[in-house]
Structure 1
Amino acid sequence: MGERASLQSIRSSVRGAVARARLLFAFKTALAVGIAWSIAPLMPGAADQYPYYAPFGALISMYPTLMSSARSSLQTLLGLGAGVGLAALVLLTVGPSLWSIVAVVGLGTLISGTGWFGIGKEYIPMAALFVLIIGGSDAEDYSFGYVTQTAVGAMVGLAVNLIIPPAPLVSEAAAQIDAFQQRLAVHLHDIGDALTESWPPTHDEWMRDASALAETSRSLRGALSEADESRRGNPRARRGRGDTEHEHARLEMLDSIAHQIRDIAGCLSDTISQRPVAFPLDPALEQPLSRACHAVAELLDADEHPDDLHAEASVAVDELLRTVHSRSIESDSVLGPGVLSAMHLQRILLMLEPAEETAGKAVEKTAEKGGEASSEDQRSP
């Protein structure tokens, strides 16, 4: 199981590296660096003596989204300007020396901690150090060339990103959410399989993997935020600006489902590990609980006929609830794992209800409220 997970992780990483969006990004980055290097010698004044900073500027301006490219370019140039300003202050006063260089780097590091310069904070002490050490006696020309060529490269990068705008990252985020949904289904299948093994089950990967579901959910929220940002200012995303609303709603639902599955896994894990807080699992519940887990997992992973699968899952969960009820009466005891698992599976079913059925229930509730209001109106004098 561990080797299979490792291979899947490697394949996923390789697919991400050679995905169409990543290949386009690599091509644009290389193109921007090449153009910046080509035009760097054409810069006026002393700037043509420092052409290598133009491709550097192009490189730091290239990000997967237009807004992040613009923001990082501006922040980097502001950071460079602040660093050059600190170096100029030293040159106009005490001059470069061991102690002044140490002091200006320390001061630049302190300023970078303010958070005012974003990603450009790293370049404040760096620019001050470069001006004082590399610039030397030609610090003025070096500062001009450094900032000018970096700005030229950044503008080239932004121009390339505007001419060849990146595709919105909505489809990538949606694919990750699909994978998360399939992973939740596999997790429920694993629990169902474990329940039908010899007790206590040795198939316990689901117990170790349960805590990773929350981390996956957090990473998906980051992917969705990046997808939202990829649409801002993007000519390829002018239509349908609410395209991520469906993905946000799906992630909220799957996050809630993940909480239910984690609770099922945690409860059964307590029972298997015989922790002090655990309740024993009645052997009569193992088969119906396993069938209910598999049925809900099939529904969660459904591509076709979700209505039929929802009906089958509802029957399996109802059977589990009836068994829990009858065994509770017969044994005159609280069947903790069975009760909690049945409740969580029932909640998952409610979240996965077909849209038509959910809408129908909403209409019925509205009609009921309207009928109650009419009755009250008739009773009033």
Structure 2
Amino acid sequence: MTTRAAVLVIAAATLSMLVGLFVGNLEGGPGIVDTPVYMGYGDRIEDGQIPYRDFAVEYPPIALLPFAIPSLISSTQDEYDSLFQALMIFAFAGCAVLIVLSLHALGSTTARMIVSVLAFWAGIALLGPFLMTRFDLFAALMTLTAMTAILYRRENLGPILLGLAIATKIYPAVLVPLLVIRAGRRGGNAAALRALLLPLVMAALVYLPFFLLAPHGVARSISRQASRPLQIESLGSGVLLALHHAFGMPLAWASGAGSQNLTGTVASVTSGITALALLGALVLVWMRFARGDAASNERFTRYAAAAIIAFIALGKVLSPQFLVWAVAAVVLVQGTRGVLATGLVLVACGLTRWWFPGMYWELVKQFDPQATWLVLIRDLVLLGVLAVLVARPLRGAVRSTAREPEPA
């Protein structure tokens, strides 16, 4: 690591702690919190109960770490909330450090590193203090750790860390095909097979102890995530709510699977269409990546961000905290395309803050028109980010000057 990068890493870590404290104490507070649920999991683990066997868990195993740690050293909900927030602030600082290190691997200038970290801070601040009551900053940290290792061409460590990220939150799995294509282009079929097996085997090893103790509990956890209904903030729901207001199409909602969802035949059909659209978008991203210089670090970060955005924008569930994953990935994209994509993601963050959490229950219970249109516009902006990332270069577009490091 160069002296310049070391100084930026120290500055990013230190200042991010202050920014994290600022975000956690923004006016209005978090509103809707998840920490009581997390504390329930953590307390049961502290009591010696086995996840998936003695109590149902919808999250992958590594996600249980930030749930359990505060339970070990707290006795009240307030203490738990404070400790959990502290963990998320550390995760936030870790993400900023990894952004600097990733951009160093990409050969970015000092100004580019500073702007990217500032954009990351801005995205988190725009989303607001509720993020400190969710574990998605930890999930983003795990994913960025894997991406950083991949950019530094750690051929074994990168895939292993990606497997750990998948065992924290499922969304990094969309990066596996990109990693396989990249490895195959650089090292042939054997390297591609290793890039495929290492993350999958690593994730499976994390699940294995729990699967041996409670196979039905693990299967139930995975199937619950795969079969979730159409959540009310998703793009599919946004379209249906818009049709409801424009043409009076009848809709209903219900709580289930940890979220509020649209119900009925129309919602079920839309959920299926959304799933097909997501699959199509991911295949497009992977194919476009394979048609170019798949060994390029710059292209890998661009298409990794595109895959993550596709997963968010076209998924059946689009919770506000998912935008953390988007911000952390998009700020690494180089050139004019990266600037435009980052700007659009920040717009999506601002639109989310406009209605969440203050208008959330009006959206759910009354299908509030203002909240409906804000949700739909936000979701369409995310589709715009995807289009920017996968579109062919425009005439006159500024080419990136980023340099790739020598192989480690």
TM-score between the two structures when normalised by the length of structure 1: 0.25
Query: Quick check: which one's helix share is greater?
Result: 1
Greater relative contact order (Cα 8 A, min sep 6): structure 1 or 2?
Answer: 2
Compute the TM-score of the two structures, normalised by the length of structure 2. 0.24
Give the greater-gyration-radius structure (CA). 1
